[in-house]
């Protein structure tokens, strides 16, 4: 199917209509990931009254080369065209050196960032902790008493949520057509209703989740619901909605130029784990703030100690027992951020279908990239782009 015809007519033909049944499937996703507001209820995340200025120093990066999944040498330009990338911004020493858009995306268009949303939530936790509104070591039930009896009772702490070390019985299989992920998606409104399954909502669904027998803190186990519970903790700690917390404490202080938004369920519960839509330039501002130890436009937005903790800590033993060693064999995870390789400086926020913020402090580089890759997890493409990010960093360092 020609993706340019999808949602192009008014009304669209049946085979060109994006619906809840097909919106995460390629090629419908090319349109859907930049038009989530036309598919799902959302809450606004207000921009800053005065955006942090961007500076530009355009460079030519398209000829930088690296290996594709078949071992062939490809250029940045070829990789962008063949990997379902919707847009990319490369920043070096705080200046945008390259910017590229495709498939209808523009600098002003928010794009769904899936689990990059988790890293936003993890960063927000440091701000709230520094303000004394959040205790990372407190039990979850001290904020949400009604979680007693679920996996999030019985000694589960906010830190376990932050580090994905909850001993939860949950199989995060994005390709499954029934089971945990489908039940979860239905609770958020991301799937069409199933008449044979009782209707529910996100918060009620979270209360049904149970332990797997593993002690909390023992094993890295990637489960999105942990981050939705974390957002609920923030709401109880602050007394306002997650979207307002994010705008008040992070999005506006860092100087976001555009409103972002987040998907919500039928009861207004935010899809904290994967529902944020934001522009690439604001994602670049966010990445630059993290690279600069929490400072954006001269303002300390995120406490320096929280970012140091993200980069230096994390439980390597828990990671080695976990379910993402095939992605980053020698990686780590702390407060919703990935360390790519222990002992090296790059760290990243990563979402399914090819969403990335890659931060390389040693080479003073940030790359924000959004995509509509057909597979939720495509290790060949992810590892190709890791080689690409390193090649771009080497090229920028050589130019300087």
In the structure encoding, which two tokens stand for residue 219, read together? 């094993």
- Determine the Cα–Cα distance for residues 368 and 118; give it in Å rounded to an integer: 15
The candidate with the shortest Cα–Cα distance to 386, out of 362, 361, 367, is: 367
Catalytic residue among 98, 115, 241, 247: 115
Q: Show the tokens assigned to 164.
A: 């994905």
Measured in degrees and rounded to the nearest 5, phi and psi for residue 318 equal -60, -40
Burial of 346 (0-12, 13-18, 19+ CB in 10 A): buried
Neighbours of 152 (CB within 10 A): 29
Query: Which residues, 6 or more positions from 112, have their beta carbon under 8 angstroms from its beta carbon?
Result: 32, 33, 34, 36, 275, 276, 277, 355, 370
Query: Which residues touch 132 (CB under 8 Å, ≥6 apart)?
Result: none
C-beta of residue 23 within 8 angstroms of C-beta of residue 35: no
Q: Are strands 95-101 and 55-56 parallel, antiparallel or unpaired?
A: parallel
- 115 counts as catalytic: yes
DSSP 6-52: TTTSSSPPGGG---TTTTTSTTHHHHHTT-GGGTS-EEEE---SSPP
Supply the Cα-derived Rg of the chain in whole angstroms.
Answer: 20
3-state SS class at 175:
coil
Per the listing, tokens 């926020």 go with 349
Q: Are 278 and 110 contacting, i.e. CB atoms less than 8 angstroms apart?
A: yes
Nearest Cα to Cα of residue 144 among 28, 245, 231, 55: 231
Strand partners, 340: none
> What does DSSP assign to residue 139?
B
Q: Which two tokens stand for residue 141?
A: 């039930």
- H/E stretch holding 300: strand 299-300
Say how far apart CA 86 and CA 69 lie, in whole Å: 19
Q: What are the catalytic residues?
A: 115
């Amino acid at each position: 199917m020609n993706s340019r015809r999808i949602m192009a007519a008014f009304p669209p033909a049946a085979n060109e209509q994006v619906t809840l049944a097909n919106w995460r499937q390629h090629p419908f996703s090319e349109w859907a990931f930049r038009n989530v507001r036309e598919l799902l209820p959302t809450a606004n995340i207000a921009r800053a009254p005065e955006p942090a200025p961007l500076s530009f120093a355009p460079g030519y990066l398209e000829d930088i080369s690296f290996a594709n999944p078949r071992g062939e040498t490809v250029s940045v330009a070829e990789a962008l065209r063949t990997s379902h990338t919707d847009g990319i911004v490369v920043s070096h020493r705080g200046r945008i050196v390259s910017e590229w858009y495709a498939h209808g995306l523009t600098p002003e268009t928010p794009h769904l960032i899936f689990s990059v949303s988790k890293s936003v939530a993890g960063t927000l936790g440091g701000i709230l902790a520094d303000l004394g509104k959040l205790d990372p070591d407190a039990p979850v039930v001290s904020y949400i008493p009604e979680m007693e009896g679920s996996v999030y009772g019985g000694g589960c702490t906010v830190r376990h949520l932050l580090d994905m070390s909850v001993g939860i019985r949950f199989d995060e299989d994005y390709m499954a057509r029934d089971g945990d992920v489908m039940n979860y998606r239905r609770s958020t409104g991301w799937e069409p209703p199933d008449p044979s399954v009782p209707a529910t909502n996100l918060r009620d669904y979270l209360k049904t989740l149970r332990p797997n027998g593993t002690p909390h803190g023992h094993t890295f186990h990637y489960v999105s619901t942990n981050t939705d519970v974390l957002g609920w903790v923030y709401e109880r700690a602050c007394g306002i909605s997650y979207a307002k917390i994010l705008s008040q404490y992070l999005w506006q202080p860092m100087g976001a130029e555009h409103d972002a938004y987040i998907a919500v369920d039928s009861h207004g519960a935010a899809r904290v784990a994967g529902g944020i839509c934001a522009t690439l330039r604001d994602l670049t501002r966010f990445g630059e703030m993290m690279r600069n130890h929490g400072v954006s436009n001269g303002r300390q937005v995120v406490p320096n100690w929280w970012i140091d903790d993200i980069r230096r800590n994390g439980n390597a033993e828990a990671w080695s027992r976990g379910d993402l060693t095939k992605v980053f064999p020698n990686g780590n995870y702390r407060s919703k951020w990935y360390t790519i390789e222990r002992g090296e400086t790059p760290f990243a926020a990563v979402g399914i279908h090819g969403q990335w913020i890659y931060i390389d402090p040693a080479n003073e580089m940030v790359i924000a990239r959004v995509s509509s890759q057909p597979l939720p997890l495509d290790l060949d493409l992810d590892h190709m782009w890791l080689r690409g990010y390193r090649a771009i960093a080497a090229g920028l360092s050589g130019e300087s």
